[in-house]
Structure 1
Amino acid sequence: MNQSNKTPKTSFIKSLGRNLREMKAFRKSLYLAFLFTVIAAILSSVAPSKLSDLADEISKSLTVDFEEMGKLSQEIGLNLQSENPQDLQYDGKVISLDDQKSYMNILSELKENNISLVERDELSEDQQAMLLDSYKKFPQSIINIVEPSLDMDAVWSIVKLLIVIYIGSFAFSYIHGLIMAEVTNDYAKQLRSDVSDKINKLPLNYFDTNQIGDILSRMINDVDQVSFNLGDSLGTIVSSTALLMGSVVMMFSTNWMLALIAILSSLFGFLFTGIIIGKSQKYFRTRQKVLGEINGHTEEIISGIEVVKIYNAKEETEEKFDELNNNLFSSSVKSKFLSNMLQPLMNFIGNFGYLAVSIAGAIFVSKGYISFGVIVAFMTYVRLFTNPLSRIAQALSALQASAAASDRVFEFMDEVELSDESHLTNYLDPHDVEGEIEFKDVVFQYPSNDQPTIKGFSAKALPGQKIAIVGPTGAGKSTMVNLLMKFYEISQGDILIDGNSIHTISRENIHDLFTMILQDTWLFHGSVRENIVYNMKDVSDDELMTLLDFIGLTHFVKTLPEGLDTIIKSNDSVSAGQRQLLTIARGMLKDAPFLILDEATSNVDTRTEEVIQEAMDKLMYGKTSFIIAHRLSTIVNADLILVMKDGNIIEQGTHKELLAQKGFYADLYNSQFSLN
């Protein structure tokens, strides 16, 4: 079985866009989640400005209020210069005339020593020490007015607002997380359902040309990768973008100079992020592709482990696995290395931003351009600005893996399907079908072949006839059955069922008309009863036991520990012949007007074959039957034998008639008894 070599080459943006389109059923929930995360981001952006107010309020209690001192000095000066100086009422407090004079004398001494309250930041250490000593000499009434004090009412007002902001931000973020978790799981469920539905819509040719393990990898690993990363990443990107924009707006509204410094110091991180994403995306795609190849290789080896052991192919299979494993390791290391560079890069940018803001902020405070609270706010804003960048970088890294996985899922979803048959209204009731089938100049060519496999095939089966189809390997026997079951669409010609063209009947209707027992047995993990009554309802135990007696399975079932309720697997203490009998029992339970046996007795011994053949003769009574057989001894009693070679009928007739012709059939039949 060859695996498709197609590799998804969809761009990261297109993959993300496709996922968003596929999530249209969840748009309302997504919009609501995004709204909540934006509100949470806005609240987080507003909080630093309130922290700045809180810092400024606290800083007032740590330093002398020189601004208030200047106002007070002006009031006292005017009062002392008036014609009738008197005690001064200021801010609800009384300052005596003597205290006023004493205060002004101290200020005069400071002025004589060139100490200015306005330019106090430029004073020498000695001058600052003199200013502090002078402050200690101030009258108590003056000190009560200008000494540092903490306005607890203002502090508590800001603290309460901050608590509300932080609680609100947490609540909206929490609700956003709940919604996104539900959306993510629902989307994964939808993807799995879509993939499952797609499997039933694909032609058999797809499964003939692709490894089953790779298909399973797309359905399980890739879907899990999409659901695991996509939901969280989308929410992270939206919330981080909102927080990023909010912090930028608040930074500029607080101080445009520091805002420019903080942003410019972090801006070049975007450039490196884009470069890294472009480099790593191809490795994510390769990783998912090789993972599918490993699953396909492993599935093939495990299913054929007996052959591997018989032919001592351990080294060969290990070499192939090691090659694929090394490819997976290489692509995983490269993709992870590049994507993991994003986080330390953004941390470096964040730290660089802290440093730039700290240096510039210190200079601006010393110049009196900003207050200490502005620096506190900007230290928080730098974190709010760089953290979203870091989280966006992480989300983009996760989205890369999700995009690579979704490419493979959507590549599978975009495969060409079987033709739509919703317009077909012709329905054949299985109970009313007479049983006539006619092939009229049927031509069929596999998509991957240059020449037709079936070339102008024509034959007619009358109601109740047993039709045997024989011929060498590759003659087209199984292909004819697949065309009859409409597993493949015929290229030219027609097949008529009771005079109704197969083109006018849906596949589901055709499948209801046929019981098909194949050479390849299939048992699923379940009880004996479940395997026999597969997709059939209202089957009693009495009916089952009668059927088991009919085909000789009663002894086998009675030896099982729980009888019909015993859980079995296709490879769990069940021989090839017993598996064949169980699948035959399943087919015999279905009441359909047509029967197809494709080497159905190839895995049973001669004695069991005789028992089954007798049961088959009873089963085929009144049904139009098609038997594909290599052991020609099993079809000597067929009503009509069609001999195929190179995709066409070269002989037809009964067993005796074909032997009498001494042609190709006679040679095939007699070769069974030849010793040479």
Structure 2
Amino acid sequence: MGSSIYYYPLGSNPPHPNWRTTMAAEPAALPSLLQPVRKRLALAVLCQAVAALLNIAPFVAVAELARVLLADGSPDHDRAWTVTAVAGACLLARLLFLLAASVVSHLAENDLQLSVRRLLIGRLDRVPLGWFSGRGGGAVKKAVQDDVHALHHLVAHSLLELTSAVIVPLSTLAYLFWVDWRLALITMIPLVLGIGLFGRTGAAFKKNLPALDAAMTDINGAAVEFVQGIAVVKTFGQTRRAHRRYTDAADRFASFFRGWVDSLAAPRALSEIVLSAPVMLFTVLLGGTALITAGRTAPEDLVPFALLGVGITTPVLTISFAEEEVRAAKAAADRIGEVLATPALPVPERPATAGSGAVTFEAVGFSYDGEHRVLEGVDLTLAPGTTTALVGPSGSGKSTLASLLPRFWDPDEGTIRVGGTDLRDIAPEEVYGRMSFVFQEVRLLRDTVRANLLIARPDATDEELRDAARRARIHDRVTELPRGYDSVVGEDARFSGGEAQRLSIARAMLADAPVLVLDEATAYADPESEAAVQDALSELTRGRTLMVIAHRLSTVKDADQIVVLDAGRVAERGTHDELLALNGTYAGMWRAHEHSTVWRPGSPDESDAVRPAVEPAAPSAVEEAVR
């Protein structure tokens, strides 16, 4: 990561000589993410290992006291007190080492989270904006928040628990073998059998995890479909049918889960019985009695086995839980690595300043996956102060072409120039300063109205902010809110689609960028709001170079230039009258548009022979039919 070498998509042109790019790294494995805190983790694990060794010291002390006090002859009081003192010192030392391990691991975990989140935010700040369009906010949040948090359990808890779970039984067995190797072997019989049974149960559990995930997906999908579609379902009287689909999915899940649990219940119960303390104690007493009566071991040697042998199996369950957390952390690290491996947007080493001339697309080609061409050989000029409308069937490349202008993506072929300067030679900050966008779907932050507007220009004065809101026809609505511009969106400020759109326009006005991209900004507005949005757009677009993605032809017939895209290529271009005269694709689309807006005699309201600006219910469907 971070190496300055060229990265460019498969099948694209070699990188521009003025680019500084960052190569996409391989998905980061867990050890790679832990590298910055590796030494502190090693120290924490060492402290935990010492604490685990000291943990068995009191039990060893009791066993040694029994050996001293039960030995033939007079008890060695000095040795007994020495053993007691050593046990007390070990207890105190254990507490200190446990505290040290916990403090060091938590500090390391805190630094790890900070480091990984900085890496993620730094990478997300440099990836192409188009990268986010294919991922929901939940996916990004999962990487930055949930997956990073998964590393917390590993670093702060699981590694230490796993260390204790391994050290305690191993050191205990070493001591017991030192006391009597024959009885130690007998003590290990339930341990070996239990681990074998437990391993088989775990293997069966992992084998059925994909089926469990599929069953959970089935029932979750049925539940979401039922809840989200309840209004439509009730409207058409299909509540019982929709409910049956959900109950059927629930029944399938219950049947699968019952069968899965039943198959695991017997071996899991048997393994837990074999590893239980009573079985271990019975094994120790049975083996010890046999060896003592045979004269193979001394009676006092049975005491350490009775004290320590029953605890050997306890860490097995801890190891299984820790293993699951390690596996979860590894999966989280892989997902984090995928984000960190996302190629960053190339940044010029010596940024150039764009001129004030036209925006030109020169033989531009683009593909999202390197195989299927979305744009091919597009040549287009946006003269300063003019309006260019992009029209065409759904999937013709309109949105993709518009997204290349603010560098949501870079073209695989060709060049986009602003005032004669390659867009890739301009610093990203200047690009975003020269481009504004108003999309169909407005994104407002859960913050004050003021903060939402100031995103465009944080240094704007209060008067400039209010002036932009007035020109966007939204100022009066904001002042009606309980706290005016300090009202919080989603709490005491709730906006309709048209109102949110006017806020977006006010934001673009504050940015005051010379080039503006509009994606049918009135698509979600009601008739009353649409008039206000159109007025606001008239204010916004005055004197700017404008690119409009048009879904409704009536909104762009007065554009200076209309570009018809078909299958990623420019099929036609010209003014409205020029394209009608060609009698080609655009003329067919226009005839279909006019046909869809005519209110024919015999309709419920014949007073209006023709209703202007009444748009088809699904304009994209009309465009597809024309195509």
TM-score (norm 1): 0.72
1:39 is displaced (CA, Å) by 0.6
- The match for 2:360 among 433, 438, 462 is 438
Q: Secondary structure at the match of 1:34?
A: helix
1:475 is matched with which residue: 382, 396, 411? 396
> Which sections of structure 1, spanning at least 5 residues, go unmatched?
1-16, 69-148
Q: Which amino acid aligns with 1:538?
A: D
**Cα-to-partner distance string for 1:518-562 (whole Å, 9 max, x where unaligned):** 011222322211222226412332222111111211221121111
1:62-461 to structure 2, matched below 5 A, reads 153-184=78-109, 187=112, 224=149, 227-228=152-153, 231-284=156-209, 330=256, 334=260, 345-346=271-272, 348-349=274-275, 350-366=277-293, 369-396=296-323, 398-399=324-325, 403-404=327-328, 406-407=330-331, 410-411=334-335, 413-414=337-338, 419-421=343-345, 424-429=348-353, 433-447=355-369, 451-461=372-382
1:284 offset after TM fit, Å?
Answer: 4.5
For residue 161 of structure 2, what is the amino acid of its counterpart?
T
Pair 201,425 (structure 1): closer, same or farther in 2 beyond 3 Å: closer
Query: In the TM superposition, what is the alpha-carbon distance from 1:351 to its structure 2 partner?
Result: 3.8
User: Unpaired segments of 5 or more residues in structure 2?
Assistant: 1-27, 601-627
Distance in 2 between residues matched to 1:316 and 1:183, nearest whole Å: 55
Q: Within the alignment, does 1:492 sit opposite 2:503 as a pair?
A: no
Cα distance in 2 for residues equivalent to 1:356 and 1:191:
49
How far apart in 1 are the matches of 2:53 and 2:355? 71
Secondary structure, counterpart of 1:440 in structure 2 = strand
Query: Aligned equivalents of 2:386 and 2:491: distance in 1?
Result: 33
Shift of 1:479: 1.6
> SS state of the match for residue 567, structure 1?
coil
Q: Which has the larger radius of gyration?
A: 1
1:43 CA displacement? 1.6
Q: Distance in 2 between matches of 1:157 and 1:516?
A: 81
Q: Against the structure 1 CA distance between its residues 642 and 335, is the aligned structure 2 distance closer, same or farther, given a 3 Å change threshold? A: farther
Query: Distance in 2 between the 1:553 and 1:204 partners?
Result: 28
Check whether the contact 1:222–1:288 (CA below 8 A) recurs between aligned residues. no
Partner residue of 1:119? Answer: none
Q: Distance in 2 between the 1:655 and 1:564 partners?
A: 42
Contact 2:127 2:345 in 1 (8 A): no
Match of 1:462 in 2: 383
Which amino acid is 2:441 matched to?
Answer: D
CA distance in 1, matches of 2:137, 2:197: 40
Q: Structure 2: which amino acid aligns with 1:24?
A: Q
How far apart in 2 are the matches of 1:283 and 1:606? 55
Q: Does 1:552 align with 2:481?
A: no
Decide which moves more: 243-252 or 309-318: 309-318
**Match of residue 532 from structure 1:** 453
Counterpart of 1:574? 495
1:55 counterpart = 2:66: yes
8 Å Cα contact 1:517-1:587 kept in structure 2: yes
Q: Report how far residue 57 of structure 1 moved.
A: 3.2
SS in 2 for 1:467: strand
Does residue 1:27 correspond to 2:38, yes or no? yes
- C-alpha distance in 2 between matches for 1:371 and 1:591: 93
Contact 1:427 1:509 in 2 (8 A): no
Cα distance, 1:490 vs structure 2: 2.7
1:393-434 C-alpha deviation (Å, 9 max, x unpaired): 3433x33xx5257436624742696544456325244xx541
1:598 Cα deviation after fit: 0.8
Q: For the residues of structure 2 that align with 1:293 and 1:204, how far apart are their CA atoms?
A: 33
- Give the counterpart letter for 1:648 in structure 2: R
The one-character-per-residue Cα deviations of 1:146-181 (angstroms, maximum 9, x if unpaired) are xxx666554333222211112222332343234444
Instruction: Decide whether aligned partners of structure 1 residues 457 and 18 sit closer, same or farther in structure 2, where only a CA change above 3 A counts.
Output: closer
State the 1:214 CA deviation.
6.2
Q: Kindly indicate whether the alpha-carbon contact (under 8 Å) linking 2:520 and 2:548 is maintained by their aligned counterparts in 1.
A: yes
2:48 is aligned with what amino acid?
Answer: T
What displacement does 1:307 show? 6.3
Deviation at 1:255, TM superposition (A): 1.8
CA–CA distance in 1 between the matches of 2:119 and 2:240? 39
- Work out the CA distance in 2 between the residues paired with 1:467 and 1:459: 10
State the Cα RMSD in Å. 4.1
Q: Which amino acid aligns with 1:348?
A: V
Count of matched residue pairs: 568
**Alignment of structure 1 residues 485-634 onto 2, 5 Å:** 485-505=406-426, 509-534=430-455, 536-569=457-490, 573-604=494-525, 609-634=530-555
* CA distance in 2 between partners of 1:632 and 1:525 (Å): 35
AA matched with 2:444 = L
Q: Distance in 2 between matches of 1:228 and 1:292?
A: 26
Identity fraction in percent: 26
Check conservation: 1:36, 1:173, Cα contact below 8 A: yes
Where 2:451 maps in the other structure, the secondary structure is helix
CA drift at 1:481: 0.6
Give the conservation status (yes or no) of the 8 Å contact 1:54–1:373. Answer: no
